[in-house]
Each structure stands twice: as C-alpha cells, then as structure tokens.
Amino acid sequence: MVLLVQRTKQMANAIELLKAAATTGVIVGQSPLDIFYGKLAAQIKLAGEVKDGKQINTRSLWFRKDAQGYVVRIGRNAFEIAGSKLFRAADLDAVVVVLNAAKEAIQADKKLQDAIALHSLERSERLKKGRAKAK
C-alpha cells in the first residue's frame, strides 16, 4: 500500500513537471519559414543519401521515383511555385537543383513566404484541436 502511494505521488509530480514545462509557442526562436528552410535542407541531404544508396524512410521524402526519373513537390503538401505543384527531375542531382531553385524562389517571393507561414499556423491549430479532442 505504501508503495502504491509513493508511485501515485511520483506520477503526480511528473505530471506537474510536464505541465510546467509544456509550450505551444515558437521553439528555439524559429519562425515557420526558418523551419521550412530546415526541412528543405533536410530533403537536399536525403537526396544525397539516396544517391549514396542508403536505406531511408521514403514516406518523408518530397521526391518520388517514377518511370521518367523523379517527381518533386515542394513541401509536404506541395506549395505552388511558378504555376506548378509538381516538378520533373531526371535524376537525384536534378532533384537537388529543383529543391535549391525552390529555396531561391521562396526567398524572393513574399506571397509564397506568407503562404508557408499561414499553412504552418493552420496546421498547428488543427493539431491542437486534435489533441484537445483526445483528452
């Protein structure tokens, strides 16, 4: 019985600690655009790893192999750039070129930057609502 009371107190202390440390704000001072650029850099790195023959989880890739080479989307949900959401690349080197070109296009386009920030905010709100329903 004493052990059960101690475990209950430990659990209560752990929950209080987690509540005190919880945050829904910006982590490490990164804006949604900074986070997106980080993900873009990660995709470029993953393209290099695929080229080197490393086994990776393909679900997280923004590029997919098909019969003619690769189809590339910019972002998980494919942002529209230059009138298109999908881009063709002949090989993995071309995938990197497309991803780098997308970064340059985003840096030069305030409307696209705003769309990325809005998408991030909307996704965050959807996730918060989902977590609230689960409680």
Question: Domain limits of the chain?
Answer: 26-134
The string of pLDDT tens digits covering residues 72-91 is 999 988 999 999 999 999 99
Q: Which helix (H) or strand (E) holds 89?
A: strand 86-89
Helix ranges, 22-109 (H): 32-51, 92-108
The string of pLDDT tens digits covering residues 51-70 is 999 998 888 999 999 999 99
Beta bridge partners of 27: none
Q: How confident is the model at residue 128 (pLDDT cuts 50, 70, 90)?
A: confident
The string of pLDDT tens digits covering residues 91-123 is 999 999 999 999 999 999 999 999 999 988 888
Whole-number Å distance between alpha carbons of 16 and 116:
35
pLDDT at 33 over 70: yes
Q: pLDDT value at position 28?
A: 60
* Alpha carbon 91 to chain centroid, angstroms: 23
Place of tokens 């609502």: 129
Whole-number Å distance between alpha carbons of 85 and 77:
9
* Alpha carbon 124 to chain centroid, angstroms: 12
Which residues, 6+ apart, have CB-to-CB distance to 38 below 8 Å? 30
Place of tokens 């909307």: 122
Q: How confident is the model at residue 12 (pLDDT cuts 50, 70, 90)?
A: low
